[in-house]
Structure 1
Amino acid sequence: MKKRTILSMEQALSMPYATLRFAQLGWRVIRIESTPAGDGLPGDPNRYIGARVLDDDRRSYFFAPNVGKEAIALNLKDPQGQALLRRIIQALDVDVFCCNTVPRRYAQLGIDYDTLRAAKPDLIWAGISALGPDYPDAPGYDPVLQAMAGYMELTGDAAGPPTLAGVPLIDLKAGDEVYANVLLALLERAESGQGRRIDVSMLQAATSWLITTLPLLDFDCDPGEITRCGNEHRKFIPTNVYPTADGFIYVAIGSDVQWKRLTELSRFASIANPTRATNEGRHREREAIHRDLAAVTQRYPTTELTADFRTATIPHAPIHDIPAVRDMEAVHRRLTTTAMPDGRTIHMQPMAVDLPEAHTALGLPPRYGQDTLRVLREAGVDQAAFETLRAQGVIA
């Protein structure tokens, strides 16, 4: 696979996650951050969130999404900074430009598709925003979008409040859409020679996942089908978290055959009856089934129940905490890593999919502006011009 160059004016999580996936392919990813403005810490605010890992601008929350990248600082409010951006795109033969700022700022900063396409006609341009360019001022924060897109309405106990998911799903979904659509655009460019503009609306991307709920509105669904149901499945009974003698276990019965296998286990024979033989019948006795099943599971240790369910091929899982997830053999051997200056290995999330020649050991995330000089030299900026630009606040 040909290695590509990605130039990304990125911050927070959605776009950094997208470009991380390109860095994992071994592609060159150059982050653009703003020059100091005098009213706060410079660059990506996420640099300063979490525990101090290396230095003040590479803290724990910033770390994993930004390994394997370079970083430059440009003042894109200055016409000279905008000219430098176009120069870098041309000189470094940049394949893809990315950004995740509000669309209102595209033209102001000289990063709009038409301006950059004029500098490099086959450029692929990808932007993430809250609601797309039709809503140019809407900020895109994952929790706000989880509320707006109905995720919070669907998450949590039926008797409790709307609840955020424990993972920033919409940030990550938007990043995955950039990754997929950039790859598609590169494929099409190889055939046509043309670039493309890609606008990812976080709201649209998020609502594309409402495949099990939103279409039900046209089927005169019961209100209970499109609201919170705790850990239950809305359709398959029983699917829920059940207490054990020493914790919890998740059990998912997805068919009548699985129900039959469950109730053929000696521990669970007492919960069977003719009505419950079908999923439709189990719906009618939903609450009683959950009570009956919990009454059995709470008497036994998780390991004993796991052994039973494995023997009967019943879908199940213990409720792992994050350390336990990392220690699972299927996960641990696929973790990505980076090496600290003192030689310690930092373990991070695995790649989504194993790929040949992928980079699973990546360099440390860059310090703020650490590659500005080197990248500008590649673009033909000499030392005297560099010093002048720095003195004028065009670069940092």
Structure 2
Amino acid sequence: MKPRTIISLEQALSLPYATLRFAHLGWRVIRIEAFTAEDGGLQGDPNRYVGSMVADSDRRSYFIAPNVGKESVALNLKQKEGRDVLHRLIKSLDADVFCCNTLPSRYKGLGIDYPTLKDIKPDIIWAGISAMGPDYPGVPGYDPVVQAMAGYMDLTGSADGAPTLMGVPVVDLKAGDEVYAAVCLALAERAETGEGAEINVSMLQAAASWQLTTLPLLDFGAQPAEMSRSGNEHRKFVPTNAYPTTDGYVFVAIGNDGQWKRLCDLAPFAGLARPERMTNEGRGRDREAIQAEIWALTRTLGTSELVEMLRQATVPHAPILTIPQVQALPALADRLTTTITPEGKRVRLQPKAIDRQGDAFHFAFPPRYGEHTGSVLADAGYTAADQASLRASAIIPT
């Protein structure tokens, strides 16, 4: 399959993550970043300026991982001439996909709404991410806000503690994955019909779609405890928890009665076995006592000792690893993607979601703000004189 071209007006994390997945496929990803001739503000994606300095002032640590393998064009879309440039890029570069994650209320004014771009390129696939979709065009949204709105925080944390954010920006990443999947589907459909598509991803709706273990319970007469914070315990399966050892913690997840029996067959845990605990329903009624008993048992064992014991019994478990330990896992170490800083330092990044035969693992370092403005415009037929005129008109940076 020939590499595709994606033009994306992107910032923050949700959409850059989506287009990263296309960059992983070897597709051309051109990020459009805002440009203004006004003084006093940082230009482009705000995430460029978050974290420790890696290469220069606009390529800091938080910006690196989602933006490898991409090109950057700085463009003033508030001016008609800038919008005309974008439209020419889409047409001249035969862009397959246009993406954006700005407020829907701004689409038309920036010349990026689907009807406008469809007139320019009828088979364009258009994808937008926003907090609550086009029905709520003025509502801004970031991952933590939507975690709160979608009930994630009410489900995370200790039962007697405060609502808590999840440790990974799951809503941003979920929305990005929805764009990735929907664009791939739209491309497959376009191959059959020749038609483009409009894709609107609501972060709220995408997040709520993962509430399949809670939202449906409302119509089943569930008790509040079935839909509220439970710490590290599972609300349905018992026992599940992070248990202390002499030198750390091990997470154990008993998902069926056979696993419970195998746990109880282990000598240190033999005392857990009682007839009334043979089923998960029975264990649910004795939840507090079981948790206390296992807690007391595991804290006398070393992490490696407990892990080996559970491994031999085929009981689902894992030591709770630090991020450096995750990076070193044999199952991941050879699958990490990489990039090279301008100074020549090799940087290990997260793995791709899946392996595909022949795909690359090494990607170009993220671009400076507007780094490829000239080369991309040249690809679209803009001469040196044309670009000089655009710079004089404050449509692209000098």
Instruction: Report the TM-score, using the length of structure 1 for normalisation.
Output: 0.99
Structure 1 unaligned spans of 5+: none
Q: Structure 2 CA distance, aligned partners of 1:290 and 1:3?
A: 53
Deviations 1:17-53 (A, max 9, x none): 0000000000000000011342410000000000000
Letter in 2 for 1:28: R
Matches within 5 A, 1:182-201: 182-201=183-202
SS in 2 for 1:104: helix
Q: Which residue of 2 aligns with 1:151?
A: 152
Q: Structure 2 CA distance, aligned partners of 1:141 and 1:340?
A: 29
Q: Which residue of 2 aligns with 1:9?
A: 9
Number of matched residues? 396
Q: Which residue of 1 aligns with 2:312?
A: 311
Q: Structure 1 CA distance, aligned partners of 2:289 and 2:350?
A: 40
SS in 2 for 1:275: helix
Matches within 5 A, 1:56-135: 56-135=57-136
Q: Structure 2 CA distance, aligned partners of 1:38 and 1:140?
A: 27
Q: Which residue of 2 aligns with 1:23?
A: 23
Q: Which residue of 2 aligns with 1:320?
A: 321
Q: Which moved more, 1:378-387 or 1:118-127?
A: 378-387
Query: How many Å apart are 1:341 and its aligned residue?
Result: 2.8
SS in 1 for 2:126: strand
Q: Structure 1 CA distance, aligned partners of 2:50 and 2:345?
A: 22
Letter in 1 for 2:198: R
Q: Structure 2 CA distance, aligned partners of 1:168 and 1:53?
A: 22
Query: How many Å apart are 1:140 and its aligned residue?
Result: 1.7
Deviations 1:80-110 (A, max 9, x none): 0011111111110000000000000000100
Q: Which residue of 1 aligns with 2:302?
A: 301
Query: How many Å apart are 1:344 and its aligned residue?
Result: 1.9
Q: Structure 1 CA distance, aligned partners of 2:324 and 2:379?
A: 43
Query: How many Å apart are 1:4 and its aligned residue?
Result: 0.1
Query: How many Å apart are 1:381 and its aligned residue?
Result: 1.1
Matches within 5 A, 1:288-367: 288-367=289-368
Matches within 5 A, 1:168-207: 168-207=169-208
SS in 1 for 2:107: helix
SS in 2 for 1:361: coil
Letter in 2 for 1:234: R
Q: Structure 2 CA distance, aligned partners of 1:3 and 1:332?
A: 28
Q: Deviation above 3 Å: which 4+ runs of structure 1?
A: none
Q: Which residue of 1 aligns with 2:250?
A: 249
Letter in 1 for 2:271: S
Q: Which residue of 1 aligns with 2:277?
A: 276
SS in 2 for 1:211: coil
SS in 2 for 1:175: helix
Q: Which residue of 1 aligns with 2:214?
A: 213
SS in 2 for 1:363: coil
Query: How many Å apart are 1:273 and its aligned residue?
Result: 1.2
Contact 1:23 1:359 in 2 (8 A): no
Q: Structure 2 CA distance, aligned partners of 1:38 and 1:340?
A: 29
Q: Structure 2 CA distance, aligned partners of 1:89 and 1:172?
A: 26
Q: Structure 2 CA distance, aligned partners of 1:341 and 1:32?
A: 22
Q: Structure 1 CA distance, aligned partners of 2:59 and 2:354?
A: 27
Q: Which residue of 2 aligns with 1:54?
A: 55
Query: How many Å apart are 1:217 and its aligned residue?
Result: 0.4
Q: Structure 1 CA distance, aligned partners of 2:305 and 2:339?
A: 38
Deviations 1:334-393 (A, max 9, x none): 000001233321000000000122221000000000101111111111111211111211
Q: Structure 1 CA distance, aligned partners of 2:93 and 2:128?
A: 20
Letter in 2 for 1:32: I
Structure 2 unaligned spans of 5+: none
SS in 2 for 1:162: coil
Letter in 2 for 1:26: G
- Pairwise CA RMSD of aligned residues? 0.7
Instruction: Report the TM-score, using the length of structure 2 for normalisation.
Output: 0.99
Q: Structure 2 CA distance, aligned partners of 1:358 and 1:302?
A: 37
Matches within 5 A, 1:160-171: 160-171=161-172
Contact 1:9 1:31 in 2 (8 A): yes
Q: Structure 2 CA distance, aligned partners of 1:238 and 1:278?
A: 11
Letter in 1 for 2:254: I
Contact 1:71 1:370 in 2 (8 A): yes
Q: Structure 2 CA distance, aligned partners of 1:291 and 1:73?
A: 59
Letter in 1 for 2:33: E
Contact 1:34 1:75 in 2 (8 A): yes
SS in 1 for 2:199: strand
Q: Structure 2 CA distance, aligned partners of 1:22 and 1:38?
A: 34
**Is the aligned partner of 1:260 residue 2:261?**
yes
SS in 1 for 2:212: helix
Contact 1:25 1:357 in 2 (8 A): no
SS in 2 for 1:212: coil
